[in-house]
């Protein structure tokens, strides 16, 4: 979710300034790469409406856009640093480094990698390789304080004593994130970096690398973080916080995008509801906040409810189709035609997410014999006079023609009058009989959707329920 928000802000600014929005895959951690992850990222971004101008899937002049396919480029940069004496080889094993860290910790000191007095030469490297020890390359960090001119956080200076000689090429030959990121940003002409605030403390390393490599430093804007409701960094352990899970749960992308935009940014005043295009116009780095935001699902739900109510018929139909394909909705499995789906949308007006429609109308798509009767509903409605009402209603419904909302309304109103009871006494028993519970669309609509034969069949079945 944090990544989606970052993508959104980058997209907004790129569109507003006629810049280029680039999608690049940073997959230099061989161990953590997940097959299919690229596809998911692209699907999520496209679903949110955040199309990119350059990058994976669409190409561009600076490809390839996958870091694991650009290794020669990073090697060239590393070699350049090596020959210039701005980087050197190191041979410690993970265990050795761990021990050094532990030791520093026991002395209550922050661990800084100790640069050896004599840097290893070619002979050392050959020997170490033969011994089978890991060989990495470390960047020789300059001894100067570095100030990041961040456009959100302001000037942030990190003392040279805080920086040590970090690894830029791992033992497996892959570059580390910092190096690859800096090289690619330079090669791809990136002049603005907007990313999460967790990178702010790393930025001095990036700036040092840029200086050593002779690259220009881009503008930086570090975004406040998105936290869970407990105030911790949002993580998968707090439930589904991936974009796709909201798609499958029946949310509208425009609602999610709108909600996400307000996490760390505000257009000012009381403005809240915006389309993507409006956000493009209103966005500005100056109005990005500095405080972390909590991801409040309740508010997102409210945004979605409003977005669904505001969406035009066509937009809603398309979004509903997307939901049906992305979710495991029983309605999707029923293979309805366009008109049936429109009817469903119409009788469910006021729904909060598409999943509400499943909840409210799922009983329409099961066999009559498979309807399960909710115990409390039966007790509350059928046991208290509901059965009698159903017996009265059955012959009338059998005779009812035409089977339309208007016709049924007329019939049921007459029954109310004849027995001097409110509509609740009539509608509820029917609702329980045909749906098994007390939740459904308006009763006339429900019966029309169900159809006459199935309505009658279900009422007979309810009457046969063991008392």
Partner RNA sequence: GGCCCCGUCGUCUAGUGGCCCAGGACACCGGCUUUUCACGCCGGCAACACGAGUUCGAAUCUCGUCGGGGUCACCA
In the complex, the smallest distance separating the C-beta of residue 215 from RNA, rounded to whole angstroms, is: 18
Bridge-based pairing state of the strands 293-294 and 226-227? parallel
In the complex, the smallest distance separating the C-beta of residue 336 from RNA, rounded to whole angstroms, is: 20
In the complex, the smallest distance separating the C-beta of residue 29 from RNA, rounded to whole angstroms, is: 4
In this structure, what are the phi and psi dihedrals at residue 227, rounded to the nearest 5 degrees? -110, 165
Question: What's the token pair of residue 85?
Answer: 């004496």
How far apart, in whole angstroms, are the C-alpha atoms of residue 65 and residue 63? 5
Nearer to RNA, 205 or 247 (CB): 205
Closest listed residue to residue 207, CA positions, set 155, 147, 152 = 147
Q: Dihedral angle at the C-alpha atoms of 41, 42, 45, 47, nearest 10 degrees? A: -120
Nearer to RNA, 335 or 375 (CB): 375
In the complex, the smallest distance separating the C-beta of residue 194 from RNA, rounded to whole angstroms, is: 15
Residue 179 near residue 209 (C-beta atoms within 8 A): yes
Could you tell me which residues come within 8 angstroms of residue 55 by beta carbon, excluding any fewer than 6 positions away?
A: 22, 23, 24, 65
Closest listed residue to residue 89, CA positions, set 150, 157, 26, 171 = 171
Question: What's the token pair of residue 349?
Answer: 């007006």
How far apart, in whole angstroms, are the C-alpha atoms of residue 323 and residue 332? 8
Residue with structure tokens 């790469």? 33
User: Which residues are bridge partners to 55 per DSSP?
Assistant: 23, 59
Nearer to RNA, 62 or 297 (CB): 297
In the complex, the smallest distance separating the C-beta of residue 324 from RNA, rounded to whole angstroms, is: 19
SS3 at position 169: strand
The active-site residue out of 236, 299, 380, 410 is 236
The sign of the dihedral angle between the CA atoms of 289, 293, 297, 298 is negative
In the complex, the smallest distance separating the C-beta of residue 108 from RNA, rounded to whole angstroms, is: 6
Nearer to RNA, 177 or 373 (CB): 177
Is position 410 annotated as part of the catalytic site? no
Q: How many other β-carbons are positioned within 10 Å of the β-carbon of residue 426?
A: 23
Q: How many other β-carbons are positioned within 10 Å of the β-carbon of residue 217?
A: 18
Nearer to RNA, 212 or 226 (CB): 226
Nearer to RNA, 166 or 403 (CB): 166
Nearer to RNA, 16 or 305 (CB): 305
Nearer to RNA, 325 or 388 (CB): 388
How far apart, in whole angstroms, are the C-alpha atoms of residue 452 and residue 2? 50
In the complex, the smallest distance separating the C-beta of residue 347 from RNA, rounded to whole angstroms, is: 9
How far apart, in whole angstroms, are the C-alpha atoms of residue 358 and residue 319? 15
The sign of the dihedral angle between the CA atoms of 203, 207, 213, 215 is positive
Closest listed residue to residue 305, CA positions, set 267, 342, 349, 266 = 349
CA distances from 193 to 14, 151, 255, 281 (A): 11, 10, 26, 20
In the complex, the smallest distance separating the C-beta of residue 37 from RNA, rounded to whole angstroms, is: 11
Could you tell me which residues come within 8 angstroms of residue 269 by beta carbon, excluding any fewer than 6 positions away?
A: none
Enumerate the active-site residues.
236
């Amino acid at each position: 979710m944090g990544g989606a928000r970052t993508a959104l802000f980058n997209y907004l600014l790129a569109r507003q300034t006629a810049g280029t929005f680039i999608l690049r895959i940073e997959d230099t951690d061989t161990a953590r790469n997940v097959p299919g992850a690229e596809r998911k990222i692209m699907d999520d971004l496209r679903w949110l409406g955040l199309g990119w101008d350059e990058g994976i899937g669409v190409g561009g002049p600076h490809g390839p856009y996958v870091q694991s396919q650009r290794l020669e480029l990073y090697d060239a940069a590393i070699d350049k640093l090596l020959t210039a004496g701005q980087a050197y080889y190191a041979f410690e094993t993970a265990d050795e480094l761990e021990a050094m860290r532990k030791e520093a910790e026991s002395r209550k000191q922050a661990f800084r990698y100790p640069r050896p007095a004599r840097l290893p030469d070619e002979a050392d490297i050959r020997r170490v390789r033969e011994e089978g020890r890991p060989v990495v390359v470390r960047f020789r960090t300059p001894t100067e304080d570095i100030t990041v001119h961040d456009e959100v956080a302001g000037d942030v200076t990190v003392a040279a004593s805080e920086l040590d000689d970090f690894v830029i090429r791992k033992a497996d030959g892959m570059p580390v994130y910092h190096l690859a990121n800096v090289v690619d940003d330079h090669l791809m002409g990136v002049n603005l970096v907007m990313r999460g605030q967790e990178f702010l403390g790393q930025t001095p390393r990036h700036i040092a690398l840029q200086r050593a490599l002779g690259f220009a430093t881009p503008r930086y804007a570090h975004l406040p973080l998105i936290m869970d409701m407990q105030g911790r960094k949002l993580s998968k352990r707090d439930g589904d916080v991936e974009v796709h899970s909201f798609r499958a749960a029946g949310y509208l992308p425009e609602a999610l995008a709108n909600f996400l935009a307000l996490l760390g940014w505000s257009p000012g005043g009381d403005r809240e509801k915006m389309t993507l295009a409006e956000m493009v116009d209103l966005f500005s780095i100056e109005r990005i906040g500095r405080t972390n935001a909590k991801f409040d699902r309740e508010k997102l739900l409210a945004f979605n409810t409003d977005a669904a109510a505001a969406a035009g018929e066509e937009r809603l139909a398309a979004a509903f189709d997307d939901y049906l394909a992305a979710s495991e909705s029983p309605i999707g499995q029923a293979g309805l035609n366009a008109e049936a789906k429109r009817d469903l949308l119409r009788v469910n007006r006021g729904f909060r997410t598409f999943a509400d429609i499943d909840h409210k109308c799922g009983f329409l798509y099961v066999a009559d014999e498979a309807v399960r009767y909710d115990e409390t509903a039966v007790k509350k409605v059928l046991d208290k006079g509901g059965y009698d009402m159903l017996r009265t209603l059955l012959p009338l419904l059998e005779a009812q023609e035409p089977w339309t909302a208007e016709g049924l309304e007329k019939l049921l109103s007459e029954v109310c009058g004849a027995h001097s009871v409110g509509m609740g006494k009539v509608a509820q028993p029917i609702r329980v009989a045909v749906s098994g519970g007390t939740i459904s669309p308006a009763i006339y609509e429900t019966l029309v959707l169900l159809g006459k034969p199935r309505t009658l069949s279900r009422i007979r079945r309810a009457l046969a329920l063991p008392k």
